[in-house]
Structure 1
Amino acid sequence: MELFRTMLLSELRNILRERMTVLMLFMPLAMGVVIRVLIEREIVEGDVLGVLAVVCALLAGFMYGALAGFSLLDDRDDQVLLSIGISPYPLWAYVWFKVGFSFLLAIGAGVALIALSGAVPMGTGDMVLVSIASAAQVPIVAFLVNAFATNKVEGFVTMKATGFLLLFPIGGYFFLDAKEWLFAIAPGHWAAKAVQRS
């Protein structure tokens, strides 16, 4: 239990020590407030509102996946992964702890984003389920960022490139027939469809 608490505090310090990761931490919540203002002022309505609802469902999972990816990149730069590799604690457990931590943050932020935005009229249980489906993007984005980047600059470019994964669920929003299965390869597809059907 002491090891878990130490790792949790270390991960929080790691996230809060840089402005970019702090911005990534709070970006989905800020987006929720912006979307709420756009809806209340009736700037957004109709199909655009539907697309914004899908974006609300997808954004937290993607952003927190990138956050986990940057956290792992930090550890690689600081030689933390090398140090853990020679310790009795398994490296895979450390990596999955970081990804799992971001996964849980993504669920909480997803619920907050959907609730704050007001773009999707659904109950709390449905918000949690959609947020869990969206959080499935966390490991994929985190590992993609780390597979193709060796430092934070490359990580940022890779994160931007993995943004194409968000295009599939948004594209699938416009289809309700068999064509929607062409877009099902993206991890956020099911979260987007759950929002569309609500």
Structure 2
Amino acid sequence: MQKLLRLVRLDFSMILREEMLWFMLFVVPALQFSAALLLLPWLEEQFPVMAEYHLLIVMLMTLQVVTSIGFVLASMLLDERDEEVLTALRAMPVGVNAFLFYRLGIGTVMAVLFAYAMLSIPGLEGLGLASRLMAAALFASAAPITTLALATLSSNKVEGLAVYKGLSIILLIPAGSFFMDSWVQYTLGVVPVYWSLHFVDKVLVGEPGGLELLMALLTHGLVLWMLFRLFKRRVFS
């Protein structure tokens, strides 16, 4: 337990030393939550057509919050890789797998909390406690996916920022399915976020979302497993 607390203290010290990291971890989520809680209702009054897409807008804002957390963790991993900290872990008692699970785990917990807060704003009262927690966990899964994708595909934080922008666009693509009425929308299901979006949508209208939940768990799990293996292969092979 003491080792875990020490790692947490070291991580937060690293974050607070870099303006971009603490901005992405604390300020961006706070701004998104404030915008969803205060600005979005006002915009919907000014532009009534936006009210029809209230749920979709909130879900996309939630996605932005959790991926910003993933970006912070990826930046830390890139720094540690450059300083060969990750390589040194192979000879330490904590172990590589334990360290990665800790780092991804703490980021996911933070993402769940932020996602739950976002999904608790007015307009989403139809989500029960269990459904809201499950939805928050599904959205939070985008955080470790973002972390591993950036840390695997980037050589430094500058490249990481470029990859982050590209990944953010990819994760937004499934939103287009809400404007499609044909089977073509299911092709967007290759992006795990698709199933998270439609799980929440189904639950809010009172329909069973079991299939969407199952597909979300399977696709997120598969992508995480693939990225975890790729990351370890690139860093430690």
TM-score, normalised on structure 2? Answer: 0.75
Distance, in Å, in 2 between the alignment partners of 1:145 and 1:111 is 24
Deviation at 1:119, TM superposition (A): 4.7
Equivalent position SS for 1:46 = helix
Q: Is 1:71 aligned with 2:93?
A: no
**Matching of residues 126-137 of structure 1 within 5 Å:** 126-137=131-142
Distance, in Å, in 2 between the alignment partners of 1:177 and 1:14 is 48
Distance, in Å, in 1 between the alignment partners of 2:198 and 2:46 is 24
Tell me which moved more, 128-137 or 48-57. Answer: 48-57
How much identity, in percent, do the aligned residues show? 22
Paired residues, number = 197
Distance, in Å, in 2 between the alignment partners of 1:28 and 1:119 is 19
Paired letter, 1:152? K
* Alignment correspondent of 1:20: 20
Cα contact 2:54–2:123 (8 A) shared by 1: yes
Q: 1:109 to 1:65 in 2, by over 3 A?
A: same
* Alignment correspondent of 2:93: 88
Paired letter, 2:35? V
* Alignment correspondent of 1:54: 59
Cα contact 1:84–1:91 (8 A) shared by 2: yes
Distance, in Å, in 2 between the alignment partners of 1:49 and 1:61 is 19
Give 1 or 2: higher helix fraction. Answer: 2
Deviation at 1:130, TM superposition (A): 1.0
Distance, in Å, in 1 between the alignment partners of 2:170 and 2:69 is 14
* Alignment correspondent of 1:3: 3
Cα contact 1:131–1:191 (8 A) shared by 2: no
Deviation at 1:156, TM superposition (A): 0.8
Unaligned runs of 5+ in 2: 205-237
Distance, in Å, in 1 between the alignment partners of 2:63 and 2:114 is 11
Tell me which moved more, 91-100 or 78-87. Answer: 78-87
Tell me which moved more, 37-46 or 23-32. Answer: 37-46
Q: Which runs of 4+ in 1 moved over 6 A?
A: none
Tell me which moved more, 46-55 or 96-105. Answer: 46-55
**What is the CA RMSD across the aligned residues, in angstroms?**
2.0
* Alignment correspondent of 1:148: 153
* Alignment correspondent of 1:108: 113
Cα contact 2:70–2:142 (8 A) shared by 1: yes
TM-score, normalised on structure 1? Answer: 0.88
Distance, in Å, in 2 between the alignment partners of 1:188 and 1:12 is 29
Equivalent position SS for 2:38 = helix
Deviation at 1:176, TM superposition (A): 5.6
Distance, in Å, in 1 between the alignment partners of 2:3 and 2:166 is 35
Deviation at 1:102, TM superposition (A): 0.5
Paired letter, 2:154? A
Cα contact 2:59–2:119 (8 A) shared by 1: no
Cα contact 2:74–2:146 (8 A) shared by 1: yes
Considering Cα pairs closer than 8 Å and 6+ residues apart, tell me whether 1 or 2 has the greater RCO.
1
Deviation at 1:185, TM superposition (A): 1.4
Aligned counterpart in structure 1 of residue 183 of structure 2, from 170, 178, 184: 178
Task: Point out the structure with max Rg over C-alpha.
Answer: 2
* Alignment correspondent of 1:34: 35
Deviation at 1:98, TM superposition (A): 0.7
Deviation at 1:31, TM superposition (A): 0.9
